[in-house]
Amino acid sequence: MRAFRQLAAVVGGVWLAAGAASMGVQPSAAPQELPLREAAKAKPGVVYQTTVRVRTNQPDAPGEEPLRLTWTVPDGFTIAAPRPLVYILHGDEHDYRWGHRAYPPTTAGELAPGCMVVSIDGPTEPGDGTRIFAARPADVVAFRDAMLEVARQLPSQRIILFGSAEGGLFASALANGFPRVIDGVVLHGAGLHEVAFFQGRLGSIRSVPVALVHGADDPAMPITQSFDAMAVLRTAHSHIMQKRPDFPKDLGTVLYLALGMEYPAPYLPFYN
């Protein structure tokens, strides 16, 4: 039940953050340098940045390289008390800095109150100096290892993925490949990656709570991707949360859907 509540809180954060953006909330201050091993020094409301090592999958350059990330801790954080850990996976047009700029801490736009939040770069380097989330098997494994390394240094209780656009497709592939590692997935403007279902049947992601959030007029990722995912998720007894015609962004009606919630209302009081 707690995992469902935290998943719902992240979905709620998407809506609240959009409202905050429409009211002119400014980006937070520049991130401060602080390695994860010094998490005991972290203060709520401050965005920190650091790197974690990720394996390279280039045949001509095996080894490791740094993966950039920003991170925050919630009110009441102590290193001795595990908290839920939310990873933000960005779309191709952004980088690791996008997460805490779009969802700054300690504002109406906070993504996941009570959770540690890590916004991280994708593991795939397409050759133009950027990093993206391409769901190649080797990159999915490399990112899982980097993600678990972060979780070892932060006192994490459970892991929830929040993926936007291409980051969402990657998140669904990661949850499908390693369902025992992931406690919930929010797919924002994405749908499911093709590896998560085949010929209308869900893969291992069926055991992971999933929420879909998608704007009807999304210009980058058509909402049909989430409708296709919804059709597959419904075969696993998923349930519609709600459609919101008053979403405060120029995306049109927003669809919410959750997998694995027999009675979603108790977990989503702010949507009733």
Give the 3-state secondary structure of residue 214: strand
The pLDDT score that the predictor gives to residue 8 is 55
CA–CA separation, 139 vs 123, rounded Å?
Answer: 6
CA distances in angstroms from 179 to 119, 144, 193, 253, listed in the order given: 21, 11, 15, 30
Higher pLDDT, 55 or 98: 98
Element (H, E) at 4: helix 2-22
pLDDT in tens, 152-174: 999 888 898 999 889 999 999 99
The answer on pLDDT for 71 being more than 80 is yes
The answer on pLDDT for 245 being more than 50 is no
Q: How many residues does the chain have?
A: 272
Q: Residues with Cβ < 8 Å from 200, sequence gap 6 or more?
A: 231, 232, 235
The pLDDT score that the predictor gives to residue 65 is 84
The pLDDT score that the predictor gives to residue 32 is 96
* Pairing assessment for the beta strands 32-33 and 63-72 based on DSSP bridges: unpaired
Residue 11 pLDDT grade (very low, low, confident, very high; cuts 50, 70, 90): low
pLDDT in tens, 184-238: 888 888 888 888 876 667 788 877 878 777 776 677 788 788 778 877 776 554 4
Beta strand segments in 129-227, E: 156-164, 184-188, 197-198, 201-202, 210-215
How many other CB atoms sit within 10 Å of the CB of residue 200? 9
Higher pLDDT, 213 or 260: 213
Beta strand segments in 12-167, E: 32-33, 48-56, 63-72, 83-89, 116-120, 156-164
Q: Where are the alpha helices (DSSP H) in 154-241?
A: 166-177, 224-234
pTM for the model stands at 0.81
Contact 163, 171 (CB under 8 A): yes
Residue 267 pLDDT grade (very low, low, confident, very high; cuts 50, 70, 90): very low
The pLDDT score that the predictor gives to residue 228 is 80
pLDDT in tens, 109-147: 567 788 899 999 999 888 787 889 998 888 999 999 999
Mean pLDDT along residues 74-101: 91
The tokens describing 2, both together, are: 């707690």
The tokens describing 24, both together, are: 């002119």
* DSSP conformational letter for 29: P
